Structure 1
Amino acid sequence: MARLSLSTKRRLLVTINALLAFLRILFAVCAAGYTYVNLAVKKHRQPSRPLAIRVYKQVEYLYTLVYWSDAICIDQLRMDRQSFHKLCRILINKGQLRPTRNVSIEEMVAMFLNILAHHKKNRSIALYFTRSGRTVSKYFHECLKAMIRCQKNFWKTPEPVIEDSTDNRWKWFKNCLGALDGTHIRVKVPERDKPRYRTRKCEIATNVLGVCSQDLMFIYVLPGWEGSAHDARVLRDAVSRRNGLKVPNGCYYLVDAGYTNGNGFLAPFRGQRYHLND
C-alpha cells in the first residue's frame, strides 16, 4: 500500500474536520426544530381540556334555560318552551337569522331574551353563557335586527268590536279597538338625567305607552319618555306623531282614570267603582 504524502494527509484531515463540524451544526438544527415542535404541540394541546369544559358549560346552561322545564324558561326568558321554539322558527324564516359554526339560534335568542327580561349587563351574560362580551353584543344586535325585519308578524292590526259580538267582556263596547296604558320600566341613565326619570315611587324608570287589542296583542308601543312624565302627556305625544297612534273615526280605546275622556278615548266615570268580576 502506497504511503500518503504529508500534504495529502493534511487535506484529508481538514476535510474530516469540516464534515464533523457540518454534522454538529445539522444535529443542533434538528434538536432545535424538535424542541420547537414539542413546544408548539404542547401549546396547542394545553387548552384542549379547558375548551372542552367551556363547551360543556355552554351546553349545560342553555339546556337548563330552554329544555329543563317551562317554569325555568318562563322565569328566565319570559315565555314557555313552546313559545321560545316558535319564536326561533319565526326569526329564522322571516327574520333571516342564521346560526354560525359556534353559536346556535337557540343560544342567540336565549341571550337576547335574557338581557331584555332582566336588564342584565353584557359582562353578566358573557359569564353565564361562557362567551366573550363581543360575542354577546354581536348576536344581541343580530337578534334585534331579525325582530325588526319581522315586526309585521308581531303587531296586531286593530279591529273594532262588532255589533253582534257574543264576547261577554267586549260585547258592551261596540267599535272598541282595545285598551291602552302606561307602564314604568327601570332603566340606567346618567347621573345628570336621574331627576327627570325619577317616578313617584322614587324609581329611575322610563314611561312606556302600550296599546293592546282585545286578545292582548300589541298594536302600538311608544318608549323613551322620562318616568316623571304623566301618562296623558305621553299619549298626546303618541297621537301627535306623524307615524304615531291613529284612531279611526267612530272607534275608540279604553283608558284608565289617569287619562281624560276625549275623541277616540273612553275613560271610566268619576266616582264609579268597577269590579273585574262584573
Structure 2
Amino acid sequence: MFQDDDNSVDGISSDDGSSSDDEALMLFMHQKRKRRMMQMACMIGMYHLDSYCNKGPRRVPIESGHDWVLTTLHNETACYNMFRMHRPVFEKLHSVLVDSYGLKSTKRMSSVESLGLFLWIVGSPQSVRQAENRFVRSLETIVRKFDKVLACLIKLAKDIIRPIDRQFRTVHLKLRSRKYAPFMDNCIGAIDGTHIQVVVPVATAAQHRNRHKEKSQNVMCVCDFDMRFTFVLAGWPGSVHDMRVFNDARSRFGDKFPKPPPNKFYLVDSGYPNRPGYLSPYKGLTYHFQEYRDGTMPRGKKEHFNFTHSSLRNVIERCFGVLKNKWRILFHLPSYPQQKQSKIIVACIALHNFIRQSQLADIDFDLCDQDENYVPLSMPTTTTNDSTNEMDSAAMNQFRAWVADGLWSLKQQ
C-alpha cells in the first residue's frame, strides 16, 4: 500500500540519498505476492475443511447391499426382475467367474454383491448414482467393482462367444423339418447387425449417426439356430454400412471369425452380396417375415424362397430381441468411454450365451422356444438393408436357384 504523505512504501521510508524507487517497488511486489499466497492457502484450507472435515453423519444402511442381494436371490420373482436370471443361473455364473475368471471378494465387497451390482446396473438399468444409494457405497467403489466384473465377463466372452463345433458337422434339428430338408441342411446360422445407441464426443457425433439420426454403434453378430451368438464385433460407428463391418470382421479377425466350411453357408439379408458361404434373398421382392404375415402370402418360387429364408434368418432378430429385452442398458448406453461401451455390449452377449448354455429355465428364452416366430419386443434389426455395390457370385446364384426350386417343390407336395 502506497503512503504518499511520507514518501514511504509499506512503512519503508525512501529518501533521495539512501533508497531507490526500484528497491521500494520490488519490496512492494514481494509483499503483494506473499499476501496472494496467504489468500490462496486460506481458500484451500476452507475447501479442505468443507470437503473432508464438515461431513454429515456416516450413513448407516437399514439393509446393506450384500444383504439386499441375498434377500433378492431368495425371492424368485424379484431375482429375475433385478438380476435378469433365476437364482440357479446366478449361482452357476458366480461360481464360474470365481473359479475361472478372477472374480474375488474383498474387505469392502463380496464377490456375490459385486456380481449382483453389475447385473442390476446393466439389467434394469440403473445409474452409478442409483447404485451408490442402493448399495450404500462410494461412487469410487461402485465404479471399481463394476469394472472388475466387466473385466471378468470379457474373459468369459472369449471362451463362450464362439461355435460349439467350428466344423458344423451336425444338421440342426430345426433344419430337419420337411419344410427345409434337404435344401437347407448346410445352413449354419445367420449374420446381421444391430444398432446400440451410445454417447460420444461432439467431434465424432456425425460419423456415429445412423439412418434414424441416432448416435449408435453398428454391432455385427453371428448366431446359430440355438440362439447363441458365435461372433460379435462392436465399436464401428453407426453410419458405417454393414458390409464394411463384415469385411473388417473377416479380415482383421480371421482367426476368430467362424468362417463357413466348404459347402456350408450363413443366411444374410439383402445388404450383403450373394457369395459362397453367405446366402442372401432375391432382391426387389417382399422379404421380411413380418411383411408376409401382415400382408399376402408369397407367390411363386422366388417369393417362397424369400419367405423361407426370412423365417429361418429371424433367429438373429430373436437373439437381438432377447439380448436387449434382458439387458436394458443396451437401449442407450451411458456416457462411458467408447471402449468401455463396446465392452459392455460384449459382456451382455456373453451373459446371453451363458444363460442359454446353462440349459436352465429362463423366461425370455422359454417364450422363444415355445413359439419359433416370437420376437421379444417385436424388435427387428435396425441396420440398413440397402444393397451393396459388391457383385453376387454366379455360382451362388445358381445354388440359390436350386434351393428355391427345391423348396417350391416341397411346398407343392
Would the TM-score normalized by the shorter structure come out above 0.5?
yes
Counterparts of 1:201-240 in structure 2 under 5 Å?
201-240=212-251
Distance 1:104 1:148 in 2: 20
Matched, 1:56 2:89: no
Where in structure 2 are the equivalents of 1:4-83 lying within 5 Å?
50-51=59-60, 54=61, 56-59=63-66, 61-63=68-70, 65-70=72-77, 72-83=78-89
Structure of larger gyration radius: 1
C-alpha distance in 2, partners of 1:60/1:187?
A: 33
The alignment partner of 2:243 has SS state of helix
Q: 1:170 to 1:62 in 2, by over 3 A?
A: farther
Task: Please state if 1:116 is matched with 2:122.
Answer: yes
Structure 1 window deviating more from structure 2 (57-66 vs 223-232): it is 57-66
The 1:161/1:260 distance shift into structure 2, 3 A limit, reads farther
Task: Name the CA distance, whole Å, in 1 between partners of 2:155 and 2:245.
Answer: 26
Distance 2:220 2:238 in 1: 11
Aligned counterpart in structure 2 of residue 102 of structure 1, from 108, 111, 116 = 108
Match of 2:307 in 1: 274
Please give the alpha-carbon distance, in whole angstroms, between the structure 1 residues aligned to 2:180 and 2:131: 43
User: Residue 174 of structure 1 aligns with which residue?
Assistant: 185
Q: 1:257 aligns with which of 225, 250, 270?
A: 270
Do the aligned partners of 1:114 and 1:120 also contact (CA within 8 Å) in 2?
yes
Shift of 1:161: 5.6
Match of 2:257 in 1: 245
Contact 2:172 2:225 in 1 (8 A): no
**1:222 Cα deviation after fit:** 0.1
Contact 1:66 / 1:81 at 8 angstroms: preserved in 2? yes
Aligned counterparts, 1:88-167, within 5 A: 88-117=94-123, 120-157=126-163, 158-160=166-168, 162=170, 167=176
Q: Secondary structure at the match of 1:183?
A: strand
- Native 8 Å contact 1:161 1:174 kept in 2: no
Give the match for residue 380 of structure 2: none
Deviating runs (4+, > 6 A) in structure 1?
Answer: none
Give the AA of the match of 1:207: N
Q: Whole-Å Cα distance in 2 between the matches of residues 109 and 116 of structure 1?
A: 11
In the superposition, the TM-score normalised over structure 2's length comes to 0.49
Query: TM-score with structure 1 length normalisation?
Result: 0.70
Equivalent position to 1:85, from 61, 83, 91? 91
CA-to-aligned-CA distance 1:85-107 (integer Å, 9 cap, x gap): 22111101111211123322222
Structure 2 gap segments, 5+ residues each: 1-55, 286-302, 312-372, 374-410
Q: What is the CA distance between 1:211 and its match in structure 2?
A: 1.0
- Distance apart, 1:220 and its partner CA: 0.8
Separation of aligned partners in 2, 1:163 and 1:61: 46
Segments of structure 1 that go 5 or more residues without pairing to the other structure are 1-45
In the alignment, which residue of structure 2 is the partner of 1:33?
Answer: none
| Alignment match, 2:294 | none
Distance change >3 Å, CA 202–CA 173, structure 1 → 2: same
1 or 2 for the larger relative contact order (CA 8 Å, sep ≥6)?
Answer: 2
Q: Does 111-120 or 85-94 show the bigger shift?
A: 111-120
CA RMSD of aligned residues (A): 3.0
Structure-2 separation of matches of 1:182 and 1:224: 12
Distance 1:61 1:100, change over 3 A: same
Partners of 1:137 and 1:214 lie apart in 2 by 36
Count of aligned residue pairs for this structure pair: 229
Contact (CA 8 Å) 1:209, 1:223: kept in 2 or not?
Answer: yes
Identity of aligned residues (%): 32
